[in-house]
A and B are shown apart, each in its own frame.
Chain A
Amino acid sequence: MNLIIPSFHLSSIGPWLTLTVTAILILVLDALSPKGRKICFSWVALAGLAVAALQTIGLWGSSGTDFARMVYLDNFAFFFYFIFILGAALTVLISRQYLEDYGKNMGEYYALILFATVGMMLMAAGAHLIMIFLGLEIMSIAVYVLAGLFREDLRSNEAALKYLILGSFSSAFLLFGMAMLYGASGGTLFLDDLPLRLGADPAMAYLVLLGIGLLIVGFGFKVAAAPFHMWTPDVYEGAPTSVTAFMAVAVKAAAFAAFARVFFLAFPAVKVDWTTVLWVLAVATMTIGNVAALSQTNIKRMLAYSSIAHAGYLLMAMVAANQLGAISLLYYLLAYTLMNLGAFGVVILVGRKKDRYINIYDYSGLGAQHPVLAASMALFMFALAGIPPTAGFVGKFYIFSAAIQAGYIWLAIIGVMNSLVSVFYYLRITVLMYMKPAEADLGPVVFSPAQTAVVALTAAGVLAIGIFPGCLYNLAMNAVKIFPGL
């Protein structure tokens, strides 16, 4: 028997390889370094991410598939690579000081972040459902461990365990859904082949819908869509803040990348069915997220519910299922990465050492004590609320446009009313910062250079792509050309 190895180019998966090698290198360095000596793993990780970013730039514009049609080479994937790399890099930057305060500046942490990033890339570029599943698991397992990084801390343990159990459960749903599709399509899981094969046998129509339904459950869990969002607040609250930030932006972006790719590419024929389901999910997700966020007093928990609400807005873009919807999804995820990581950066800084101050009332009087920090936080809050001239506004504007273009005017109205609800709790932070005196002297904020840089960069980014959205819009438009069905 002849085993034929199909030809492939390693350069097509250059970023994956770089990050994997960097992660292994970090582990080796960690193992070899004498006890007590500090090595700046964060710099190594950043270097790896920078190389990966350069490789992605090199790949930009290429098309087709590689590795026996298992991997897509297209701008859609590359756009998401940038989002993941950006998310990972900013996370690494905010982590170091934070972890050192806990005495946890370990190599594993950075290695796991990089492994998770590789998993995300697999999800964004996977051309075969099993590839996407592999990516999802690589990412998820790394993040399960990260959530439980503080193993002496009960809440961190709870977060990890909850995430692991519910996450595995949802992975099972996803896998089961793939199995249904495998049966229905007569034995293929290639995204390219699925649309034709799924329509071939009308008797299988129910199996297709069942499969799609199960996929929605699986992806819905990862993007924290209601009613699969129950884990989110507890996990986000219990996990280390830097990990929470990473989960809120990068994991969500990866799940949406796969979600959008699979649904836009493989199931255009049954669009009516899944957009109806997603319509309901979008409305439920936004509303539950926003309403629950109103009563939170822990800032991490508030941001957790707000991230649920944002998943709802992003689902609106999926419901629209048109080209503009896909563009808005990409734009919004990038904008969300910037504004949410910026907000978490401030949360870490204001938390001072070891997350001591994560109640929203700890922000009282911050405007007088640290005007620039407070102004940045206010900017992120206004951006998350979708008020111009920030990236958050442009993102929402695109999403609502997409929904209206597709004729979902009521969905858009529900969406804007949800924004109004969200304004209330985002404003509350600014009220506390500027309009209330400090309740107690919490001591000055210690600005570590890397964390300060994250806040400054994200703030600048939020404004820059909010005022000049054109360039990014064109990139995103270029990236979504791969969906002929839209």
Chain B
Amino acid sequence: MQLPILSILIFLPIVGIGILLILDRKRHKGLKIATLIISLLEFLVSLPLWFDFNSQTAAMQFVERREWLPTYGISYYLGIDGFSLLLIMLTTFLTPLCVLATWDDIQVRVKEFMVCLLALMAGMIGVFVSLDLFLFYVFWEVMLIPMYLLIGVWGNPARRVYAAIKFFLFTMFGSLLMLVAILVLYFHYGKTTGTYTFDLLKLYQVSIPFNMQFWMFLAFGLAFAIKVPMFPFHTWLPDAHTEAPTVGSVILAAVLLKMGTYGFLRFNMPLFAEAAHYFVPLFSILALIGIVYGALVSMVQKDLKRLIAFSSVSHLGFVMLGLFTFTMPGVQGGIIQMINHGLSTGALFLIVGVIYERRHTRLISEFGGLATPMPVYAIIFMIVTLSSIGLPGLNGFVGEFLILLGTFQVNKLYAVIAATGVIFAACYMLWMFQRVIFGKVTNEKNKDLKDLSWREIAIFAPLILFIIWIGVYPSTFLDKTKASTENFVAMMEKAKSTQVSQSHVFKGEAQ
């Protein structure tokens, strides 16, 4: 009998919330330490997933299944494959670092903050491990509430409410249409097979007429595209990122956005494979627009967080481009790029958080020459910047290279356009880095800034470790996803051959 690790991962934070609720709300340190311990425990619990994971198979592992609403075909059904494994590890790895990052940052309503953080953690894990569409939808929606509160309560006083509501309504808009599509799919499966179920693996099997796939792909796709976010649904992101507290931005960038890309990989493409092939041009072009547009807009940002937010649009564009190649390197690159973006952009937001805590501003023009007062900070900032622009030897390079490789096999023009994004990224990141770190200290207030404390170094050290690890020896991570990716690519390949015949039928009907 195996331990139900996935359930423990979901419920440990919930138990943690219970513990926090009975603690004294005035003891801020105690609350933070308790949360740190819970998140570290969570990380420890997730480690066996990594080590016991069988990389040879694409089948779901660590499966747990309990009936939840049997008359409706709803079950509590969990399992992971290579895709979810990496994202879960990213989540459990980042959360303790996030808790550490709140040490000086969050001083009001600490208890509520920690409760939200733990609820968010449970929700994120839940999204990545659910194999039942109903369960998945529940986690997907539940997560909105704590994130909304994180932005709205602890954000920047000026525009936090606007950003929080915008975030909530945008996401909800997409997910509600997805709910309709989920139900249509459910009844379609029921009518075709006679049994009604939300079991994802069974739903994979059913054949869906193309015009139905067409609409359902769009409905699911909208929900995920908003979350990713893909151009032109990205407008909530800069606001949410800029107004959220540091930790909120980190989790938003590192994990929440990945839910969108993960959704495409797990639900949209395998469920509606033929429609996915049909939509490759549309989504690839949107991804390309995102890459170039995000980069160009980043260049003119005055606010550090806004700059990083728009760079996320660009980076996620890469991920989407890779996933929509349906080739081995493209998809693997997309997945590894999700992790990279989580590490690098998460680290960048933490880096901005460090100086924001000291100066309470994020305007690039306020800084300059920080290398003099903060040498350690400057080094870490440099490594992360270089990782974000894809310097060989650091993680960003691996992802972008694989994605470009995959894209080149499919469409050379796309690859060329995407490659310009890499160049632009170098422009805006290095220019920003130069303006903040190099030169003379022009602003008096920056003269005596304190360099990183040990706590802050402890936050960045593990991040840097993995940034270099993935850059130097990505096989550790690529191997875990290999079998799942092969399976995915084969599935999409099979759908392509049927799509050719099906789309004829579709066109024939239309005439």
A interface residues, Cβ below 8 angstroms from B: 367-368, 371, 382, 387-389, 393, 397, 400-401, 404-405, 409, 412-413, 416-417, 419-420, 423-424, 427, 430-431, 434-436, 469-470, 473-474, 477
Contacts and interface: CB of A to CB of B under 8 A. Distances in A.
16 contacts: A367-B153, A368-B109, A371-B112, A388-B137, A388-B142, A400-B180, A412-B183, A427-B168, A431-B152, A431-B164, A435-B153, A435-B161, A436-B161, A470-B70, A473-B71, A474-B71
Contact of B165 (A368, A387, A427): A427
Contact of B141 (A371, A388, A412): A388
A416 B70 contact: no
Contacts of B145: 382, 387
A435 B109 CA distance: 12
A417 B177 CA distance: 8
Contact of B160 (A400, A405, A423, A435): A435
Contacts of A397: 134, 179
Would you call the interface of chain B mostly helix, strand, loop, or mixed?
Answer: helix
Given A387-B145, A388-B138, A423-B168, A434 B71 contact: no
B69 A404 contact: no
Interface string B134-150: 10011001101100110
Would you call the interface of chain A mostly helix, strand, loop, or mixed?
Answer: helix
Contacts of A436: 161
B180 A434 contact: no
Contacts of A401: 183, 186-187
B144 A469 contact: no
A108 B441 CA distance: 80
B176 interface: yes
A420 B172 contact: yes
B183 A404 contact: yes
Contacts of A404: 180, 183-184, 187
Given A368-B109, A401-B187, A430-B149, 14 more contacts: A388-B138, A389-B142, A404-B180, A409-B180, A417-B176, A423-B168, A424-B165, A424-B169, A431-B161, A434-B149, A435-B160, A436-B161, A470-B70, A474-B71
Interface of B: 68-72, 109, 112, 134, 137-138, 141-142, 144-145, 148-149, 152-153, 160-161, 164-165, 168-169, 172-173, 176-177, 179-180, 183-184, 186-187
A382 B168 CA distance: 12
A401 B196 CA distance: 12
A424 B161 CA distance: 12
A115 to B, nearest CB: 38
A407 B314 CA distance: 40
B159 to A, nearest CB: 11
In the complex, which of the residues A382, A389, A405, A435 has the most CB atoms of chain B within 10 Å of its own CB atom? A435
Nearest to B143: A388
A434 B68 CA distance: 34
Given A405-B187, A435-B161, A387 B141 contact: yes
Nearest to B72: A473
Give 9 closest A-B pairs by Cβ, nearest first. A416-B176, A388-B138, A404-B183, A435-B152, A470-B69, A388-B141, A434-B153, A412-B180, A401-B183
Contacts of A400: 179-180, 183
A332 to B, nearest CB: 15
Nearest to B140: A388
B164 to A, nearest CB: 7
Contacts of B69: 469-470, 473
Contacts of B160: 435
Contacts of B153: 367, 434-435
Nearest to A436: B161
Contact of B177 (A416, A434, A469, A474): A416
Contacts of A409: 180, 184
Contacts of B180: 400, 404, 409, 412-413, 416
A387 B152 contact: no
Contact of A431 (B165, B172, B179): B165
B141 A393 contact: yes
Contacts of A382: 145
A368 B111 CA distance: 12
Contacts of A387: 141-142, 144-145
A425 B148 CA distance: 15
Contacts of B172: 419-420, 423
Contacts of B137: 388
A473 B153 CA distance: 37
A413 B184 CA distance: 11
B155 to A, nearest CB: 8
Nearest to B215: A409
B171 to A, nearest CB: 10
Nearest to A435: B152
A424 B172 CA distance: 11
A424 B70 CA distance: 33
Contacts of B138: 388-389, 393
Contacts of A417: 176
Contacts of B70: 470
Nearest to A402: B183
A401 B168 CA distance: 23
